[in-house]
Amino acid sequence: MFSFLKPAPDAKFKIPDSKVHSIYRLHQLGVLVAIFIGYAGYNIIRQVFSIEQHDLMQVYHFSRTQIGIVLSCFGVGYGISKLFMGALSDKSNPNHYLATGLIISSVLNFCFGTTKNFLIMCGLMLLMAIAQGMGAGACQRIIQIWWGKKQRGLVYAIWGTSKSCAAIICVSIVNLTLFLFSHSLRMVFFSTGILGVILAIIVLIVGNDRPTSVGLPSIEDYTHDEVILDNGKKIKSELTNLNIFQILYRYIIKDKLVWAVTLTSMCLYVVNYGINSWIPSYLTQFKGFDPNYTKWLVGIVSISIIPVSLIIGFLSGIFKNYRGVICFISMLGVIICLSFYFLSTNHTLIVISLILLMNFLSAPTMLVGLIINEVVPKFAVGTSTGFMGFFQYIVGEIAATAFIGYLVDQFGWTACIIVLYVAAGLSLIFLIYIIFIENKLNHQNKKI
């Protein structure tokens, strides 16, 4: 690993006790800004192709199946990348790691603007996916090592809203670029790539590695929080001499709760991407919406999620031992809203149901990531994120993009509806198991 990406050593000096609190808050603010704008940059780059799918079909004459295949290339590459790149983030300076992946993603985004070839786009999307795999694991590791369990839910929610902000920013940049450059798709890819590089530079300026690297106590010493594993063992270490494969086997593959959360998240991604990736096509071609309106609707829906995500994050801090229950209740709301979204013919009701659907879905999608990171040691957070991401994208997104694209071409949108209902139902089953284990761990914690 390049020295630039290696973890920073512990500082030789220690911050005086009287200044620890204020300096901790200052660094936390900088770190929060870094992961927020950094991950927003990742998502701006990631969403360009999806938002422009209608224009790509019109201008480049791509079929819906071809669009689905390109999107699924991202799913395949990103799923594999999250597993290995997430594990590498556990061995890195996560701030530098985050910025590096964003710069590489931005460069590849430039390349998208230089070709109209379908196969080259598939190859670029695979490479893009590998670079994008450096983002989530690094951000989630940063959250785990800079905030205690009580604050982590709200911080996680704030970080998660960067994805929603990215959607509206991406839509705005896309439409502004099309307006200024005579509907040039090439310039859309160029402008978003430039923005990505600028955001990566800001990440490097305001972010940090670990608290101990700047002379502060570790988060466990600062908040007195500890990680309690499924077997009741407490672990405080942030770094380890174990290699990636030892961490993967010992703390991920052997953990039943990690598997349950992973499979839940996989099903949630089928629903999430099965709705989000096809909003422009579904509403335009099946519900009679205006194509330009559906582009803005993608951003509007994403922005609407922000307040609810923050509220859920705050509540998850208060009810930090019952996050599975919050997820279960939210999924019941998802299933109800799915019915209105698919069955209604009234445009206003469709939009309202879509907004409510994505708001209900945002809670479990966010919280399962928090759950899986809190049941593994700090040195395994990136690995757990990558393991879950592997199933989210290799199975979840492929099912929601290429598979649904094929089913819609062959059998119509009814096939898509069936897939999403099945995925939502399976997530409820897995959540019941998570709630059971959650209660077991709470009982063990009280005994300790």
So where are the chain's domains?
A: 18-210+242-447
- At 336 the pLDDT is 93
Measured from the Cβ of residue 111, the count of other Cβ atoms closer than 10 Å reads 16
Structure tokens at 352: 């309202």
The residues, any chain, with a CB within 8 Å of residue 259's CB and separated by 6 or more, are: none
- Provide the residue count of the chain: 448
- At 107 the pLDDT is 93
Please state the CATH superfamily assignment of the domain spanning residues 18-210+242-447 in this structure.
MFS general substrate transporter like domains (1.20.1250.20)
The residue written with tokens 């005086």 in the block is: 16
Task: Return per-residue pLDDT of the chain as tens, 448 residues.
Answer: 577 888 888 888 888 888 888 999 999 999 999 999 999 999 999 888 877 776 777 777 777 778 778 877 887 787 788 778 877 887 888 999 999 999 999 999 989 888 888 889 889 999 998 999 898 888 988 998 888 877 887 888 888 888 878 877 888 888 888 888 877 888 888 998 999 999 999 999 999 888 888 888 888 788 776 655 555 555 655 566 677 777 777 778 888 888 888 899 889 988 888 887 777 777 887 787 887 777 778 778 877 877 877 787 777 767 666 788 888 999 999 999 998 988 888 888 988 998 899 888 888 888 887 787 777 776 777 777 778 878 877 777 777 767 777 777 787 778 888 888 999 999 999 999 888 887 776 665 555 4
- At 446 the pLDDT is 55
The answer to whether 372 and 119 are in contact (CB under 8 A) is: no
Closest CA to 362 of 337, 388, 395: 337
Closest CA to 257 of 391, 445, 434: 434
Measured from the Cβ of residue 306, the count of other Cβ atoms closer than 10 Å reads 20
